Amino acid sequence: MSTDPQIWIAALGTLAVYSYLYKENPAYRIAEYTLVALYTSYSLVLDFHEYLIPYGRQYAIEEGQWYFWITGAIGLLMYFRYAPAEWNWLARYPISILVGWGLGYTLVRSPRPVMVQVKDSMRPLNTVNNVLFFVFFLCIMFYFFFTVGKESKFIQGTGRVGRYIMMVGFGCAFGNTVQGRISLFLNRLSFLLVDWIGMKIW
């Protein structure tokens, strides 16, 4: 068994997290709170020294770009979430600006992911796979087609097929996610058995 204290801390933390599979317990709570506290404090210190201080000194003070002070003041409004109830509404403005700017910038400056998907949906019908893709695409679109009433037999049948196709797709995506999580679990299991206990399994 390992005598390295860092490996012991990592192993006990791993066991504490996996103890949630049995039931919620104080060990899991301690591991959860410790992880959140470490991540939050590390991110705060990193952002403060890597972004806030250099950008504030260079742009707002040395170069005199006054609008950085305005953006900083708007950003500070987020902390009004912790103010009394009559001042909580001030925190909505920076969040609205952040969400609106992010969506607008993504749609205007970075349309490539959306355009690639739209372009990929227009395939020539020269192979069986492309024909099946086109049929599945139409069925799924009819599932979300609300202009014509659902009393139409064609809309009902096509939409039902589209729903089944989506369920198959969601199942494949979920299975892929589970497979990825299993690989992470095997990595931690290998750490516990080999690095911590010292078992020879290879």
Q: Could you tell me the residue ranges of all domains in the chain? A: 124-197
Helices in 91-143 by DSSP H: which ranges? 92-109, 112-120, 128-143
pLDDT recorded at residue 20: 93
Q: Are 114 and 136 in contact (CB under 8 A)?
A: no
User: What is the pLDDT, as a whole number, of residue 150?
Assistant: 63
142 CB-contact burial (10 Å; exposed 0-12 / middle 13-18 / buried 19+): buried
- Predicted confidence at residue 16, as pLDDT, reads 94
Is the whole model's pTM more than 0.85, yes or no?
no
Closest listed residue to residue 138, CA positions, set 169, 165, 171: 165
Query: With a cut of 50, which residues of the chain have pLDDT below it?
Result: none
What is the rounded CA–CA span in Å between residue 77 and residue 98? 12
Residue type, 96: S
Find the distance separating the first CA and the last CA of the chain, reported in whole Å.
17
Mention every residue, 6+ apart, whose C-beta is less than 8 A from residue 188.
14, 18
